[in-house]
Structure 1
Amino acid sequence: MRIIVSGGGTGGHIYPAIAIADELKRLRPDTRFLFVGAAGRMEMEKVPKAGYEIKGLWISGLQRKLTLDNLSFPFKVIHSLWTSRKIIKAFKPDVVVGTGGYAGGPVLYAAAKMGVPTLIQEPNAFAGLANKWLGKHMDKICVAFPGMEKFFPKEALVETGNPVREEMLERVRSSAEAALAPDSSANLGVNRSADESALSSRLGRRANILLMGGSGGARSMNEALRDSTRILGARPQVQWTWQCGTAYYEAFKDCASAQLPNVTISAFIDDMEQAYAKADVVIGRAGSTTIAEIQFLGKPTILVPSPWVAEDHQTMNARALTERDAAVLVADKDLTEKLVPTVYELLDDEARRKELGQNARAMAQTGAVTRIANEVLNLISSSQKSAN
């Protein structure tokens, strides 16, 4: 088989695309893959690292403000459609799969118009404009939430859940369970009234907080940690892993909070397996991939929906968890005041952490990546039967 996969711009598009390709390769080892992304975006680096070939299109998003870049947008679309047709003609894919990102629109639309089977994966509770427009041209649309017929043709919908790197996450769960001390039901050693050093020594580990602002970083989350030096330093046994984003690393790496011995700052975390495994509490945006991963892991999580995304879909994603008591929500505007105190409240309440983790795990749609891969294979099979 020959499959084109398009997913890029952010980790939330790239890693689901890679997960789907990995699962298809597991099911059909002889499959050849070609990724199509946006030139200059992070997929051009991350996809080859995962072992796949990728070609870049000259494409970018339409800016919400009036900018010079918007003047070139129509030309980029026309050029990308033309390039996509050339790629499809040369590669001759059996199917084109999209998980979002700037490049997905041109290549999926071109494939649909050329009669190539197409499938998109919509991860959010509120579909974005590009996928809503593409949906009417697609053969199959895999979604993670019920009620998505308000955005897409009902006959094309299948509820699969969001794809995650399940093999990696399963290793994380096993590592975390093995690392727990025999008396792990005790407090993590962060109770203000206790001797934190003694308790951490007894447990054989420190409490660990993982803050990740997404592949691009989140300015407001970074500013909240920058402005919390005193409170972070007051509890030195609480270790912070701070992923600030490549765009923000230079601005925050030398701040007082980043210099604390219990804080480790980095632009990007390549080894998410280790980061997740040691995390007692996770802090992240409410993107679909983050949510799917913390559900799979059953990690107590503080979600901070981005106020800058289309249709405020991250708040809707977060509410799907908070309404089931499976996560804690802190609004972006309240970060400086509430984020670190909320973390400490969770660390001091073992029963609450356990409840959040169990409720999150109960919502996990395990096997989503296999369901999506099977939809891809079924689409190819149906297409071949129709051709014959």
Structure 2
Amino acid sequence: MSRAARTLPSAAPARPRGTRAGARHGSRRQGRQPMHETMWVRSRAEAPARFVFSGGGTGGHLAPGLAVAGALTAGGAAEAVFFTGRRPGEQSFTRPNGIRMCRVPLAQPRGLGLRFAVELAVRAGTILRIMQTLRPQACLGLGGYVSLPGIAAALLSGTRVVLLEQNAVAGRVNRMLAPFVDCVCTAFPETEGLGRAPRVVHTGNPVREDFVRQRHAGPPRAARSWKKIAVLGGSQGARALNEAMIAALPRLAALRMNLRIVHAAGPDAEEVRNAYARWGIAADTAAFFPDIAARIRDADLAIARAGGSTLAELLVLGIPAVLVPYPFARDGHQAANAAWAAREGVAVAYEQRAFGPEEVAAAIKSLDTRAEAWSARARRARELGRPDAALAVACAARGAYTGGENR
């Protein structure tokens, strides 16, 4: 734990209900602990280790946390409790066994006003009381303002805190909290904004077990006469990508390529599905695919946003990409993610304002005209994928990570 965190007060251990300090019991006269105290100590000793996770709001924050929780709780070795918000997208993710979800809604801050500060204090107090009962081994912060109450409660209770940073530019909450925590686990080899953290380790960004299984399911792409395109707008869809694909359909039809498209379109799913049908292009379209890893494992190309989790999943599966960063992301973290991917030779990046139907058609056509270049990007993507990232972060949570440190 960092020096700053050590100075925070620790919560006193709870005394078993029905006892008081200095109470006399018949069993103590015989040199033994009272039976109810012995049972309480034994139940604590036999209970599996507990870990709490704080964060959520979007799939980019929640999915890596669920992956780490799955690694920690495998085989019943531990229990995990999530303190998350109540956004609809959080309900779409399958929870591994041994995980409990505790909804602690926190309004999105409109500046650091008094109202948000009071709500944060109330939520942190609620979680602190729960933590004093759970006595977790560590708290993992998943980023975003939703993570603040749980991390504040962990620091106040003296619990070890590990932050997970999914992007090439650290988010505001992680930058603010980094000096006070034990460790920050990063998705990228270099992450901007963590200079004051006591320890920064590059673990990679954890991906769900489905993606790891699909990576090892066999050769990703067999020789075939058709191309599979994955269009991924993140857990909540991307209107700009949907519009670009719809506008590109006349051009794609004119290419006369045998295409199969998997399109996670968010709220626009019905409109997008109808557009594909009008142009006679085979497409599997939905707002969200729970089994997305199996659907895209053999994709030749992804057209996607550049969120940290989306990029990590594509790398694990070895899928090259055309990345269109969300232009309004705070601190430009998606642009930084896309720039890194382009430098590493796994993606082509476009600004949203420069990405339209012509760029969609040109990228898909180049799967034929520049096949070797895309094959090289696919090989490089697979090399950079970190299927072991969830285990690495789990080791950091247990205080047993032995990997190298970085900045």
Q: Same fold (TM over 0.5)?
A: yes
Larger Rg: 2
Aligned CA distance change for structure 1 residues 236 and 149 (closer, same or farther; 3 Å): closer
Task: State whether structure 2 residue 350 is matched by structure 1 residue 367.
Answer: no
Say yes or no: does 1:212 pair with 2:254. Answer: no
Give the whole-Å Cα distance in 2 for the aligned partners of 1:50 and 1:259.
Answer: 43
| TM superposition shift of 1:241 | 1.3
Q: CA deviation at 1:276?
A: 1.9
> Please, what is the CA RMSD of the aligned residues?
2.7
Residue 218 of structure 2 corresponds to residue 171 of structure 1:
no
The corresponding residue for 1:14 is 62
* Equivalent position of 1:76 in the other structure: 119
Equivalent position of 1:225 in the other structure: 245
**2:307 pairs with one of 279, 284, 287:** 287
Q: For the residues of structure 2 that align with 1:158 and 1:177, how far apart are their CA atoms?
A: 31
Which segments of 5 or more consecutive residues in structure 1 lack a partner in the other structure?
A: 189-199, 201-205, 381-388
Aligned residue type for 2:205? N
State the distance in 1 between where 2:268 and 2:172 align: 28
Return the letter of the residue paired with 1:127: A
Q: 1:194 maps to which residue?
A: none
SS at match of 2:93: helix
Matches within 5 A, 1:102-117: 102-117=145-160
Q: Which stretch of structure 1 is more off in the superposition, 255-264 or 272-281?
A: 255-264
* Partner of residue 260 from structure 1, selected from 258, 265, 280: 280
* Aligned mate of 2:89, from 12, 31, 42: 42
Return the match for 1:270 from 247, 267, 290.
290
Q: Which amino acid aligns with 2:175?
A: K
Distance change >3 Å, CA 130–CA 251, structure 1 → 2: farther
SS of match in other structure, 1:269: coil
Equivalent in the alignment of 1:191: none
The answer to whether 1:309 aligns with 2:329 is yes
Say whether the 8 Å CA contact 1:143–1:162 is kept in structure 2. yes
Write the mapping of 1:25-174 to structure 2, written as runs, cut at 5 A.
Answer: 25-26=73-74, 29-46=76-93, 48=95, 52-63=99-110, 73-148=116-191, 150-165=193-208, 167-174=209-216
Q: Which residue is 2:371 aligned to?
A: 350
Query: 1:9-31 deviations in whole A, cap 9, x for unaligned?
Result: 111111110110111123x6331
Question: For residue 168 of structure 1, what is the amino acid of its counterpart?
Answer: D
Deviations along 1:127-179, whole A, 9 cap, x unmatched?
111111121221111113344474243432222121123x5334323445176
Deviations 1:252-297 (A, max 9, x none): 4444667634223210011112222231111111111122222222
Instruction: Select between 9-18 and 229-238 the one with higher mean Cα deviation.
Output: 229-238
Task: Decide whether the 8 Å contact of 1:228 with 1:257 is kept in 2.
Answer: no
Partner of 1:330: 350
In the alignment, the residues of structure 2 paired with residue 49 and residue 171 of structure 1 have an alpha-carbon distance, to the nearest angstrom, of 15
What SS is found at the alignment partner of 2:170?
coil
Of all paired residues, the percent bearing the same amino acid is 28
